[in-house]
Structures are given as structure tokens and as C-alpha cells.
């Protein structure tokens, strides 16, 4: 085997790299900027989608939901389900489930003496609801509901503005019972909440579940059962178990099917990240190939000499590839450091409230928290190395296939 030992190849590559330090520096700068852009942009995008998903999942659906099969198409009181039976209760004990709650969720109309609005009325069981979706911290005036039979009402700050009402005042909530009789009831506002997304404040009002069940003559029935776990990405591991326990009569769905927009965003972002990394790489690859072509071109005579001394063409190929690898590795190192160094200070959040309403259309809030994911970083690094070496094969192969005599005589 006439192949140079790795150490010798490495040393030779290293010294060759710095023979033309300007070219190497410029190329390193390009790789660094490219890798930084890959990781930085990906972290921003991931942060946005994470926020979107967490907002989406937390601000109601729950990671897995159990409904009447017709409920999603027609979210009416008529499509309610019975409270969880024993089998389902047992299934909900599995360790992956961190919390679950059952709610009544119906379209309603809320009126103050000043104005009337369409809303979604949620009859909730406060203790478990807090664990699944509602952030009790977001109550900024008054209190949250105390228990299922609480007779008070909690509404959003925006809604309070619209209705020109306030804490302690009375409003009328109107909905229909299963026989389509109008059911209405006066509520005293006991709490006002602020949500990250203004549209939520305008949409959801909260009342005690028992109170709502009584108002709508629902008995023990509920509209949905919402379940959460530790990580929304892993629902597939456990939701089939719940689905089985819930039985055939109801529909048990993971979040990405409940809200296909959220589900598709996740998939789309995965694709987008890959496309972005590859585009940046391609833009880099021209410079990389150029650098290697130049490096080989300047050293034709030397390569001829090495061949005359008995280095096999394959050894020369490896030698050039080693040089490319070294260049890529240093660039990657610097790019990664730069990316981490710029993302970490931003992790407290980037204020993008200038475009808050635009971001809200997409479902994200006005603070952007970049999310540096190990997987994304690994993907970017692997893509750069693998594709980088692949594109280097061409110039390296050219170098290896020089005719030694021609190469030696090159001036």
C-alpha cells in the first residue's frame, strides 16, 4: 500500500492550504458566512414554527383530542360525547400523559349593554385546564375560575374592550341547547386574561364546566377531551393506546390532524430548512471548486513530481480531498461558533412587534425565540461535508489523472 499515512496527508494538506493564505482566508470567510447563514436562519425559522406550534397546541387543541366524529365539521352542542368511561380513565393513566381535561366548547354570543359579539364559550374544569392549555399567569385582572361549578366568567382583554365592560360587571351569554332552544344566562366577569395572540382574546371566553353543562342541558356530556404529554413531537408513540381505549364511537386525533395547518407547517419547515441549506451550499460550491481548481493548477508540476516519485493517482486524489476536507472543517468550525455565538444572545427573544399583526396571521407571537436544534446543526454540517467532498472529487480527480511528463514540464 503506497498511501500516505493520515498524519502526513494532514500535514501536507495543512501546509498547502496556507501557501496561498489570501485565497484560503477568503474561501474560509465564504464557508463561515454560508454555514452561519444556514444555522442562523434555520434557528429563526425553527423558533417561529415552534412558537406557532406551541401557541397552537396550547391555545386549545391539546396534543391529542377526543371528539364526536362529526364535531370538527360541525362544532355544535349536538355533537357531544359522554364523559370518559372507566376504560378511558385507565388509559389516561399511562406515563406519557402529563395532563388531560374535558371541556364543553360551543359557539355563543356574548352581550354587554353596549355591544354584542360572537365567541366560543368554553366550559372547563379549571384545575386540569390549567395544566393542559390555559396559562393562569395570563390573568391580569381578577382571578381565574376556581372550580367547575364556578358561576363566574373569564374573558379576554380585547373582548372586554369591545364590549366596553369590565371586571365585576354582568354580561349575557347566549347559545343553544341540544333541542335548539336558545339558552342564555347572565354571568359576572371575574377575570380578564391577556393572550400572546390578540385573536385568542377575541375568540374564547371561559366558564365553569358544570355551569355550562347545566345551562345547555348537557348532563355530563362534553365536547372534547384534550390530552397533553411531555413533547408534542412524540404523540405517535402513545396516542394509539388512547384511541383504542376511547373506542370506535368517537374520533381520537393527534394535533397535526386536528389542525392540519400546524401539521403541515412542521413538515413544510423541515423541507424548507433542507432546501435552504442546499441552496447556500450550492452557492458556496462554486467557490470551493474554484479554489481547488486553482490550488491544483498552481501545483501541476509538484503533482507530476509526486507521481514520478511513485505516488499512485489515488493517493493524489486523497491528498486533494484531504485539503478540501480541512478547508471545510475549519469553515464549519468557525461557522458553527459564529452561529451559536449570534443565536445565544438572541435567545431572550427578538422583538418583532413591528410586524406583530402580520406574524399573528401566521400564528406566531410578537417575540421570536430562535431555536438552535442539534439535529439542524448536524444536518447542516453533514450536508456541507458530504456534498463538499463530492464536489471536490472533480478537481481532485483531474489532478490525479495528469500525465506525469506533461505535468513535470508545465511552466
Partner 1 sequence: MSSIVCKDLCKTFQQGEEIITGLDHVSIEIDAGDFVCLSGPSGSGKTTLLNAMGGLDTPDSGRIRVGNTQVDELGKGPLADMRLHKIGFVFQAYNLIPVLTARENVEFVMQVRGEPAQERSQRSHQILKEVGLEGMEDRRPAQLSGGQQQRVAVARAIVSKPTLVLADEPTANLDSVTAGQLMDLFVELNQNHNITFVIATHDTRVMAYARRLIKMRDGKIISDEKQQQPQIED
Partner 2 sequence: MTITLRMAWRNLWRHKRRTWLTVGAMVFSNLILVFSISLQLGSYRMMIDNTLKSYTGHMQIQREGYNDEPKMRSSIDAIIPLADKVRKQLGSDTVAARGVAFAMTSSEERSYGLQIVGVEPEFEPNVSTLPGLITKGSYFEHSNAEEIIIGSVLARNLRVGIGDELTLLGSGHDGSFAAGIAIVGGIFESGIAEIDRSMAQLPIGYFQNLFGMDGRGHNIVINAPELSQLSSVQHAVNNILTANDRLVVLDWEQLQPGLKQAIQADFTSAWFMYGVLIVLVAFSVLNTQLMSVLERTREFGVMMALGVKPARLGSLVITETFVMSGLGLAIGAVLGIAMTYYLSIVGFSYPGMDQMAERFNLPDRMYPSLSLLSIMLGPSIVFLFSLLASIYPAIRLFFLQPVAAMRAV
The binder of 66, among partner 2, partner 1, none, by C-beta within 5 to 8 A per type, is none
Residue 116 makes contact with partner 2 by CB under 8 A = yes
C-alpha cell at 39: 444555522
Element (H, E) at 252: strand 251-254
Residue 22 makes contact with partner 1 by CB under 8 A = no
Residue 408 makes contact with partner 1 by CB under 8 A = yes
Query: 337 vs 355, which CB is nearer to partner 2?
Result: 355
Residue 401 makes contact with partner 2 by CB under 8 A = no
The binder of 78, among partner 2, partner 1, none, by C-beta within 5 to 8 A per type, is partner 2
Among 96, 111, 315, 342, binds partner 2 (CB under 8 A): 111
The least CB distance from residue 406 to partner 1, in Å, is 10
Q: Is-contact 228 44, C-beta < 8 A? A: no
C-alpha cell at 240: 394509539
* 185: nearest Cα among 153, 160, 154, 163: 153
HEC secondary structure over 265-328: HHHHHHHHHHHHHHHHHHHHHHHHHHHHHHHHHHCHHHHHHHHHCCCCHHHHHHHHHHHHHHHH
* 388: nearest Cα among 293, 296, 295, 288: 288
C-alpha cell at 223: 365536547
The least CB distance from residue 15 to partner 1, in Å, is 4
Query: 82 vs 174, which CB is nearer to partner 2?
Result: 174
| Number of residues that make up the chain | 411
DSSP class of 82: P
The least CB distance from residue 156 to partner 2, in Å, is 14
Q: Helix or strand or coil: residue 253?
A: strand
The site that binds partner 2 (CB under 8 A) totals a number of residues, namely 69
The binder of 257, among partner 1, partner 2, none, by C-beta within 5 to 8 A per type, is none
Q: Is-contact 106 119, C-beta < 8 A? A: no
Query: 309 vs 361, which CB is nearer to partner 1?
Result: 309
Which spans in 347-373 are helix H?
Answer: 356-362
Compose the 246-285 pattern: x for residues touching partner 2 by CB under 8 A, - for all others: --------------xx--xx-xx--x----x--xx-xxx-
Query: 241 vs 312, which CB is nearer to partner 1?
Result: 312
- Pairwise CA distance, residues 111 & 287, whole Å: 66
**Bridge partner residues of 251 (DSSP):** 67
Give the footprint of partner 2 on this chain (CB under 8 A).
Answer: 20, 22-23, 26-27, 29-30, 33-34, 37, 41, 44, 73-76, 78, 107-111, 113-119, 161-162, 164, 174-176, 180, 182, 260-261, 264-265, 267-268, 271, 276, 279-280, 282-284, 286-287, 289-291, 293-294, 297, 352, 354-363
Give the footprint of partner 1 on this chain (CB under 8 A).
Answer: 1-5, 8, 12, 15-16, 19, 301-302, 305-315, 404-405, 408
Amino acid at each position: 500500500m503506497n498511501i500516505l499515512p493520515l498524519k502526513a496527508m494532514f500535514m501536507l494538506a495543512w501546509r498547502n492550504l496556507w501557501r496561498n493564505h489570501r485565497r484560503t482566508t477568503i474561501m474560509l470567510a465564504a464557508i463561515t458566512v454560508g454555514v452561519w447563514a444556514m444555522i442562523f436562519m434555520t434557528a429563526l425559522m425553527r423558533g417561529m414554527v415552534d412558537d406557532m406550534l406551541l401557541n397552537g397546541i396550547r391555545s386549545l387543541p391539546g396534543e391529542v383530542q377526543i371528539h364526536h366524529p362529526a364535531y370538527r365539521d360541525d362544532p355544535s352542542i349536538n355533537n357531544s360525547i359522554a364523559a370518559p368511561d372507566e376504560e378511558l380513565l385507565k388509559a389516561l393513566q399511562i406515563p406519557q400523559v402529563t395532563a388531560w381535561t374535558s371541556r364543553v366548547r360551543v359557539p355563543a354570543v356574548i352581550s354587554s349593554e353596549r355591544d354584542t359579539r360572537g365567541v366560543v364559550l368554553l366550559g372547563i374544569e379549571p384545575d386540569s385546564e390549567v395544566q393542559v392549555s390555559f396559562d393562569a399567569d395570563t390573568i391580569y385582572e381578577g382571578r381565574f375560575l376556581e372550580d367547575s361549578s364556578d358561576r363566574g366568567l373569564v374573558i379576554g382583554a380585547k373582548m372586554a374592550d369591545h364590549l366596553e365592560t369590565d371586571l365585576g360587571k354582568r354580561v349575557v351569554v347566549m347559545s343553544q341547547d341540544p333541542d335548539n332552544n336558545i339558552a342564555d344566562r347572565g354571568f359576572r366577569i371575574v377575570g380578564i386574561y391577556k393572550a400572546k395572540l390578540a385573536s385568542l382574546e377575541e375568540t374564547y371566553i371561559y366558564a365553569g364546566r358544570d355551569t355550562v353543562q347545566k345551562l345547555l342541558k348537557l348532563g355530563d356530556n362534553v365536547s372534547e377531551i384534550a390530552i397533553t404529554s411531555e413533547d408534542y413531537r412524540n404523540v405517535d408513540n402513545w396516542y394509539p393506546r388512547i384511541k383504542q381505549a376511547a373506542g370506535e364511537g368517537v374520533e381520537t386525533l393527534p394535533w397535526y390532524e386536528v389542525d392540519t395547518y400546524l401539521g403541515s407547517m412542521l413538515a413544510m419547515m423541515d423541507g424548507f430548512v433542507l432546501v435552504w441549506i442546499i441552496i447556500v451550499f450550492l452557492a458556496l460550491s462554486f467557490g470551493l471548486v474554484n479554489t481547488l481548481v486553482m490550488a491544483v493548477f498552481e501545483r501541476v508540476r509538484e503533482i507530476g513530481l509526486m507521481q514520478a516519485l511513485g505516488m499512485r493517482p489515488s493517493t493524489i486524489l486523497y491528498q486533494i480531498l484531504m485539503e478540501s476536507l480541512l478547508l471545510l472543517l475549519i469553515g464549519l468550525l468557525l461557522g458553527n461558533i459564529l452561529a451559536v455565538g449570534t443565536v445565544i444572545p438572541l435567545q431572550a427573544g427578538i422583538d418583532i412587534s413591528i410586524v406583530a399583526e402580520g406574524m399573528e396571521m401566521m400564528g406566531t407571537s410578537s417575540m421570536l425565540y430562535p431555536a438552535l436544534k442539534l439535529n439542524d446543526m448536524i444536518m447542516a454540517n453533514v450536508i456541507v461535508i458530504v456534498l463538499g467532498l463530492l464536489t471536490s472529487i472533480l478537481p481532485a480527480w483531474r489532478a490525479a489523472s495528469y500525465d506525469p511528463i506533461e505535468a513535470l514540464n508545465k511552466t
